Amino acid sequence: MLFRFLALLPFLAGAFAGSKIHDDTFTPDYVLEATLDDIKINCKSRSSIIFNGTSPGPTIYLQEEQTTWIRVYNKIPDNNVTVRAAPFSDGTPLVSQWPIPAGQFFDYEIRPQPGDAGSYFYHSHVGFQILTAYGALIVRDAEKPEYKYDGDIPLMVGDNYAAEDEVIEEGLLADPFKWSGEPQAITIQGNSGNKSFYEAPDSSCMPHVIHVDPGKVYRLRFISATALSMIKLGIEDHKNFTVIEADGSYTKPAHIDHVQVSSGQRFSYLMKTKTSEEVCGNRKSQFWIRYESRDRPQVISGYALLKYKCGKVQHLPKSLPKTSPIELSNSTSDYLEYALEGLSEKNNREFPRLSEVTRTVTIQVNQILTTGAYENGTLNGTVAWAQNGLPWKESVQAERHQVPYLIQVYENGTTPNYTLALEHHGFDPETKAFPAKVGEVLDIVWENNNGPTGGWDFHPMHVHGYHVYDLGSGNGTYNATENEAHFDNFTPVLRDSTNLYRYAVKGVPHHTAGWRAWRIRITEENIGAWMMHCHIAQHQVMGMATVWVFGDAEEIRGKFPAPPYTQGYLNYGGSAYGSEDSQPWVNHYYSNVDN
């Protein structure tokens, strides 16, 4: 679940109210049931992991400074699922928490803080389950929203593969490696939009229809849960969009004529609809929405429809356009770069300058072969995505019965060796984690290397926990001094998902060209164990993930409840997890704050 659910906030250190049994007298605000079912996607039946019988799952609404309980049932036979929330519940299995065992449930306690209002989504963080196990999560402002609008429309973007999750995952980890291929379709709100309203055998491959009133302002929230695709999207005869939010942070208004969104990213755009005089009567009142993938070997496309309410029956178009009425740019790496400035004066004041940076951690990402060789243009062996030569695979950690990092710190005081990490480019090879001390200001630089094949990919890099100041991106390698000049009269917005772009398709193997940089101040507020990873599901399965531990053992332990309030969270399927036969003992972390 993409959200900054920090139970590690310092003012909560004394807010532990103790554990309570969640019996029949307890009613969660939302209930999500993860099941394995056959559903129709792209007009074909597919065995998929879904929430509450649909993909996307139901939209969840939270509010700043209000505690919400979400119960997640894992009804998937012999499988695990996680989402993100409070202590020991960031949602990243074997980093901050145990997965929810099959046949059990877990109650997530979530309390968005001031400034968290925005667009997010929840999803399973196990294997390839994100393909269908996701849903929108909207955090509402505690006070009046920063921008005025008449309607709010969440739009979830997804990928569709005909092959089942386990087949794809097994191929990615196999020897020899088998790539998943491109998706068969891209979906908007679960609809692939590649068959007309009259030709489609069922609604799942019809265009998704967005209904609007004339003369209104709408907030379009594009939330990307794609496994692989970056998309461009445009609306016929509608080219005036104003970006007001990126990844849960309000931005100063930025004007753009189309949408671009990659896996994990969320953008809100204000769109003013045409007047009644322009669209009603005998005038055109339905407009095609075209979306296409970018920076992949094959362009996957589809249609949605913007339909005005004009008080009379309007028949849907009989066929899809023969040629697209919207021309979408092929350029991706310049989209909103150095254009989004945060609206929060507090966050802008707290932006650390280059002179405050205490350490730069540079991480090169590229493919490696862990077995076999690259022969005759083919990766013949086991392929992994590595960071500075080292992959981190959830499947490997599970096979080794890895205890989640946060639980290791809590129980044994095990934290990465900071001194050893400094000798290995910021990485501790013993704990396989990147440590940082409270008080440090880090520049984290991701570098794009084309590995043994010479081919570059783009990577939507995502950080869990607190957002980071996005310093931008470019070709070549990062030059801190040159890049800092952008911030003389401009403060970058806090983000959690930004692209490490490619600037060429192919080149001389093992060549680095392309960077993305972030800046983060380590404070008592963001102490914990967090993941930073590529949000492309295939790449993450193949090892493109890193674990970071902020703070030392004493600092991390000091942010959690004392025993026995944590006891049920420390073991797989512990007493904090419920089932039909057992009622969970759950720590109410925010009770004193609520009271």
Instruction: Report the percent of the chain where pLDDT is more than 90.
Output: 82
Give pLDDT tens digits for 146-158. Answer: 999 999 999 999 9
* Buried b / exposed e along 149-178 (16+ C-beta atoms within 10 A): beeebbbbbbbbbebbbeebbebbbeeebe
Confidence (pLDDT) at 99: 84
**pLDDT band at 565, cuts 50/70/90?**
low
Same domain, 356 and 459: yes
Q: Is the pLDDT of residue 110 over 50?
A: yes
Q: Is the pLDDT of residue 145 over 90?
A: yes
Output the DSSP codes for 55-68: SS---EEEETT--E
Q: What amino acid occupies position 360?
A: T
Instruction: Report the percent of the chain where pLDDT is more than 70.
Output: 93
Report how far residue 487's alpha carbon sits from residue 296's, in angstroms, rounded to the nearest whole number.
Answer: 32
Domain presence at residue 339: no
Q: Is the pLDDT of residue 464 over 70?
A: yes
Same domain, 138 and 199: no
Number of domains in the chain: 3
Domain presence at residue 90: yes
Residue 119 tokens, joined: 């667009």
Q: Is the pLDDT of residue 511 over 50?
A: yes
Give the sheet arrangement for strand 545-550, strand by strand: 434-436, 545-550, 528-534, 459-463, 497-500
Same domain, 582 and 529: no
Same domain, 530 and 570: no
Taking CA atoms, 52 is separated from 32, 168, 509, 543, in Å, by 6, 24, 46, 30
Q: Is the pLDDT of residue 397 over 90?
A: no
- The H or E element that residue 170 is part of is helix 165-173
**pLDDT band at 87, cuts 50/70/90?**
very low
Same domain, 47 and 168: no
Give pLDDT tens digits for 287-307. Answer: 999 999 999 999 999 999 999
- Let me know: does 342 contact 492? Beta carbons within 8 Å: yes
The owner of tokens 């929810």 is 100
Same domain, 119 and 129: yes
Report how far residue 282's alpha carbon sits from residue 274's, in angstroms, rounded to the nearest whole number.
Answer: 14
**pLDDT band at 593, cuts 50/70/90?**
low
Q: The domain containing residue 70 runs over which residues?
A: 1-144+564-595
Q: Is the pLDDT of residue 86 over 50?
A: no
Q: How many CB atoms lie within 10 A of CB 250?
A: 21
Same domain, 357 and 385: yes
Phi, psi (5° rounding) for residue 436?
-145, 145
Pick from 15-24, 373-382, 510-519: least confident: 15-24
3-state class (DSSP) for residue 82: coil
Q: What is the CATH number of the domain that holds 112?
A: 2.60.40.420
Q: Is the pLDDT of residue 1 over 80?
A: no
Q: Is the pLDDT of residue 589 over 70?
A: yes
Domain presence at residue 435: yes
Domain presence at residue 568: yes
What's the whole-number mean pLDDT along residues 385-410? 85
Same domain, 532 and 549: yes
What's the whole-number mean pLDDT along residues 473-488? 98
Largest CA distance in the chain: 73
Q: Of 466, 583, 589, nearest to 86 (Cα)?
A: 589
**pLDDT band at 236, cuts 50/70/90?**
very high
Q: Is the pLDDT of residue 88 over 70?
A: no
Angle at 591 between CA 586 and CA 592, to 5 degrees: 140
Output the DSSP codes for 262-281: -TT-EEEEEEEPPPHHHHST
Pick from 34-43, 83-92, 163-172, 533-542: least confident: 83-92
Q: What amino acid occupies position 427?
A: F
Confidence (pLDDT) at 318: 96
Domain presence at residue 461: yes
At which of 332, 364, 383 does a domain end? 332
Report how far residue 339's alpha carbon sits from residue 472's, in angstroms, rounded to the nearest whole number.
Answer: 10
Report how far residue 97's alpha carbon sits from residue 84's, in angstroms, rounded to the nearest whole number.
Answer: 9
Same domain, 71 and 121: yes
Residue 523 tokens, joined: 């404070």
Confidence (pLDDT) at 13: 31
Residue 320 tokens, joined: 């899809």
Confidence (pLDDT) at 16: 47
Q: Is the pLDDT of residue 398 over 60?
A: yes
Angle at 122 between CA 121 and CA 127, to 5 degrees: 120
Q: How many CB atoms lie within 10 A of CB 17?
A: 16
Residue 381 tokens, joined: 């062996």
Same domain, 59 and 82: yes
Give the sheet arrangement for strand 60-63, strand by strand: 60-63, 134-140, 118-123
- Let me know: does 275 contact 215? Beta carbons within 8 Å: yes
Q: Which residues contact 479 (CB under 8 A, 6 or more apart)?
A: none
Secondary-structure percent of the chain, ordered helix, strand, coil, rounded to 5: 15, 35, 50
- Let me know: does 469 contact 498? Beta carbons within 8 Å: no
Confidence (pLDDT) at 300: 99
Give pLDDT tens digits for 179-196. Answer: 999 999 999 999 999 999
Confidence (pLDDT) at 91: 47
Mean pLDDT for the chain overall: 92
Same domain, 138 and 206: no
At which of 308, 332, 356 does a domain end? 332
**pLDDT band at 337, cuts 50/70/90?**
very high
Q: What amino acid occupies position 263?
A: S
Pick from 102-106, 332-336, 440-444: least confident: 102-106
Same domain, 498 and 584: no
What is the Cα 434 distance to its own chain's centre?
A: 21
- Let me know: does 115 contact 97? Beta carbons within 8 Å: no
Q: Is the pLDDT of residue 51 over 50?
A: yes
Residue 483 tokens, joined: 């890049």
Q: Of 122, 149, 331, 333, nearest to 244 (Cα)?
A: 149
Residue 546 tokens, joined: 């890193």
- Let me know: does 583 contact 23? Beta carbons within 8 Å: yes
Between residues 3 and 535, the one the model is more confident about: 535
Q: Which residues pair with 367 in a beta bridge?
A: 385
- Let me know: does 530 contact 158? Beta carbons within 8 Å: no
Confidence (pLDDT) at 595: 59
Confidence (pLDDT) at 78: 59
Q: Which residues pair with 442 in a beta bridge?
A: 359, 520
Pick from 122-126, 135-139, 152-156: least confident: 122-126
Q: How many CB atoms lie within 10 A of CB 136?
A: 22
CA dihedral 449, 265, 466, 271 (to 10 degrees): 140
At which of 268, 297, 332 does a domain end? 332
Domain presence at residue 340: no
Q: What amino acid occupies position 219?
A: R
Q: What amino acid occupies position 202?
A: D
Report how far residue 342's alpha carbon sits from residue 250's, in angstroms, rounded to the nearest whole number.
Answer: 6
Domain presence at residue 217: yes
Taking CA atoms, 402 is separated from 62, 100, 405, in Å, by 33, 15, 8
Report how far residue 474's alpha carbon sits from residue 447's, in angstroms, rounded to the nearest whole number.
Answer: 10
Residue 378 tokens, joined: 């083919």
**pLDDT band at 281, cuts 50/70/90?**
confident
Domain presence at residue 426: yes
DSSP 538: H
